[in-house]
Structure 1
Amino acid sequence: MNTTTMHRWEIPSYGVEKLALQSAPIPTPKVGEILVEVHAVSLNYRDLVVAENGMTANIKFPFTPASDMTGRVVAVGEGVTRFAVGDQVISTYITNWIDGAPLSWADSPTQGGPIPGMLSEYVSTPADWCVHAPKSLSPEEASTLPIAALTAWMALVEQGNLHAGQTVVVQGTGGVSLFAVQIAAANGAQVIVTSSSDTKIAQAIELGATHGINRTTTPDWHTVVREMTGGRGADHILEMAGGDNMLKSLQAVAPGGRISVIGLLESDEITLPIMPLLGTRASIVAIAVGPRRALEDLVRMVDLHRIKPVVDAVYPFSQVREAYAHVQRGAFGKVVVKVRGH
């Protein structure tokens, strides 16, 4: 480094439209920390909501948003043994969830809110809050793993015990959904994608999905799922919408199957009668990303199966507002900001 200052994006108060590029000193890593030259930042829908209203997090302003990054270690603080200068790393999301059962929200500080985020040329972060990046991915691709890919991994593999021959229903074609398609296909599962776009369904099939259902022209998509599975239903359903859609997921799930609640694109509430739930004996499980150990497992799987994240667009660091606007209108896969050359 031949300079002592850097640039980072900040908001002085809630509102994505208030994003502004500011100068700041390059931090010095403290004991147990690493200084990372940030190469790419992946934006999640959560990052948009946090910037707009905090999403229940107690934000301190000025605030630098965004949770997911990849970059190169350029300095290490005293006591750091997990990384060395030159290592490529990706961030974790829930900072103190190393392994085991999850902690409560109150005891689980998250990056990108309330902890300051990654839209900065450099970040100094505890070494325990990062893992080694996949060797098979570009920085832009690697930055998409910490939230979106790990959420799909937790729903299907870590907690869902997915195995070959099962049927998975994936709703939508956002980042989590497309990772779920790829992970399920890599594990030998049949994957059914629901979307309002025939074009996006065709793209998902190219990624490994077996079938697609247009939920606009076929609003009773759950009946088609049952037809495709010989009346049995799907073993796993990734519920991305909330609201009344949950009932359709329940009607599409196999006896004893699993519905992973991930999204709230249509509603932040769930509407569900009790008797059909009791009749299916299905499990309804909330998925909120995962621990560091699971992210390390995911990285190994990505390298082994050569899974390539779907990046809809890469924006330069100067166009962060445009990147957020892309997230707002919806993306096929992920939206990434390239922070520095690499």
Structure 2
Amino acid sequence: MAPTSTKQWVIKGLNGFEDLAFTEAPIPPVGENEVLVHLRGASLNYRDLIIPKGLYPFPIRSPLVAGSDGAGEVVAVGSKVTRWKQGDRVITLFNQGHQYGPIDTVSVGTGLGGALDGTLRQYAVFNENGLVRAPSNLNFVESATLTCAGLTSWNALYGLKPLQPGQTVLVQGTGGVSIFGLQFAKAAGARVIATTSSAQKAETLKKLGADHVINYKEDPNWGETARKLTPDGEGVDHILEVGGQASLEQSMKAIKLEGVISIIGFLGGPKGSSTSDLGVPDALKHVCTLRGVVVGSRAQMEDMVRAIEAKNIKPVIDKQVFSLDKAREAHKYMWQQRHFGKVGIVID
């Protein structure tokens, strides 16, 4: 018998994690171009944490089902669906409307867990174009990490000025986007410089393939250090900037002429100090591109899945994996920065 209801986490307000409510709701009917998915795995992003805290800088709809990342299996398909059949393993596309090419104003407003109901639930109905085939070498929780962190890294490295073998990539910290950036860069034959504040995490980064690791607390001028580590001291080709204004000054010191700094997040805070308020003269001085990255398209995600299978890339999942009913605890765990890599959630 087909399921008629789903357990889910709903964002009821924007005052903190206590506004996350574990509820049960009926499953909507499947339209002719839609697919019913039994979600089996999810993962968390920094975005998922700041939305219920009221810190997200973009418009959201509330109440709505929480969660950006999901993976599962197709349970039922609409009468006009051609992409999927029952039993197919799929991943959710974050911006459901971003199919290919540059993102537009319509597509940017179709994000799961912000504009549209998200993935922290057992069952969900999606348009057939809002799903991508899951990699054959990954389980459901691993596959779920690709929706935001994986695709954001892929877009940063290949969306504007594709990474070339022998180039240098700089990643910041040990969050999901940065770890994926390290893995994708090494798989492409690039060298990687990573930054961290922890000696223990530095060793893990080296094990994952980082060629150089800089402790930014011990070396506050890490941008110049990173530049010196590149061939002929010319600078870094690609930087995955997750710190935002707080670290952009050092990224500018590290970037190569005509290099690309992909602005992905603002873990250091949405605004920096007066000394790091960079502007037009800085971009001209360094002759670089500062590019905002909002995840990526379905076409890019399909490319990424093929690369993950070809290179057998395995996402780094934190040792602490949570069940769906413990999703609030998962939010708190990640907020306390106790994780390494992605925080995974198993959905029964």
Q: Report the Cα distance in structure 2 between the residues aligned to 1:67 and 1:24, rounded to whole angstroms.
A: 19
Deviations 1:265-302 (A, max 9, x none): 11224621543432221111111111100001100110
Displacement after TM superposition at 1:95 (Å)? 1.2
Contact 1:50 1:57 (C-alpha < 8 Å) held by counterparts: no
Report the counterpart of residue 300 of structure 1 in structure 2: 306
The alpha-carbon distance between structure 1 residues 11 and 284, as it changes in their structure 2 partners (threshold 3 A), is: closer
Counterparts of 1:252-271 in structure 2, within 5 Å, are 252-269=254-271, 271=277
Q: Tell whether 2:326 aligns with 1:319.
A: yes
Aligned ranges 1:65-84 → 2 under 5 Å: 65-84=66-85
- Looking at structure 2, the residues matched to 42 and 129 of structure 1 have their Cα atoms a distance apart, in angstroms, of 18
Matched, 1:127 2:133: no
Instruction: Describe the shift of the 1:251–1:135 C-alpha distance in structure 2 as closer, same or farther (beyond 3 A).
Output: same
SS of 2:8's equivalent in the other structure is strand
What is the aligned counterpart of 1:289 among 289, 295, 299? 295
Query: Do the aligned partners of residues 282 and 218 (structure 1) sit closer, same or farther apart at CA in structure 2, a change above 3 Å counting?
Result: same
CA distance in 1, matches of 2:108, 2:209: 38
The share of aligned pairs that are identical, in percent, is 38
Shift of 1:55: 4.0
State the partner residue of 2:140.
Answer: 139
CA distance in 1, matches of 2:244, 2:6: 41
Deviation at 1:160, TM superposition (A): 3.0
The residue number in structure 1 matching 2:52 is 51
Q: 1:338 aligned to 2:346?
A: yes
2:162 matched to which residue of 1?
Answer: 161
Q: Is the 8 A contact 1:97 1:108 kept in 2?
A: no
> How many angstroms apart in 2 are the aligned matches of 1:88 and 1:282?
40
CA–CA distance in structure 1, aligned partners of residues 170 and 38 of structure 2: 38
Structure 1: any 5+ residue segments left out of the alignment?
A: none
The Cα of 1:2 is off from its aligned counterpart by 6.0
* Maintained 8 Å contact 1:27/1:35: no
Q: How far does residue 3 in structure 1 lie from its aligned partner after superposition?
A: 4.8
Measured in 2, the distance between the counterparts of 1:318 and 1:107 equals: 30
Which segments of 5 or more consecutive residues in structure 2 lack a partner in the other structure?
Answer: none
User: Where do 1:215-294 residues align within 5 Å?
Assistant: 215-229=216-230, 230-269=232-271, 271-294=277-300
Shift of 1:226: 2.0
Q: Secondary structure at the match of 1:200?
A: helix
Is 1:29 the counterpart of 2:30? The answer is: yes
d(CA) in 2 for partners of 1:207, 1:254: 24
Q: Which residue of 1 aligns with 2:105?
A: 104
Offset of residue 332 of structure 1: 1.3
Alignment check: 8 A CA contact 1:31 1:80 kept: yes
Name whichever of 228-237 and 65-74 sits farther off.
228-237
Distance of 1:118 and 1:2 partners within structure 2: 19
Between the aligned partners of 1:37 and 1:106, the Cα distance in structure 2 is 25
Q: Which residue of 1 aligns with 2:195?
A: 194
Show CA shifts across 1:100-138 (max 9, x none).
121026853111111011111100111110011110001
Once residues 211 and 60 of structure 2 are traced to their aligned partners in structure 1, the CA distance between those partners, rounded to angstroms, is 43
Aligned length: 339
Structure 1 residue 314: deviation in Å? 1.3
Q: CA deviation at 1:145?
A: 0.1
* The one of 45, 60, 85 aligned to 2:62: 60
Task: State how far apart, in whole Å, the 2-side matches of 1:175 and 1:322 are.
Answer: 19
| 3-state SS in 1 of match to 2:240 | strand
Query: Displacement, 1:328?
Result: 0.8
Could you list the per-position Cα deviations for residues 191-226 of structure 1 after superposition, in whole angstroms to 9, with x for gaps in the alignment? 000011111121111111111000001111012112
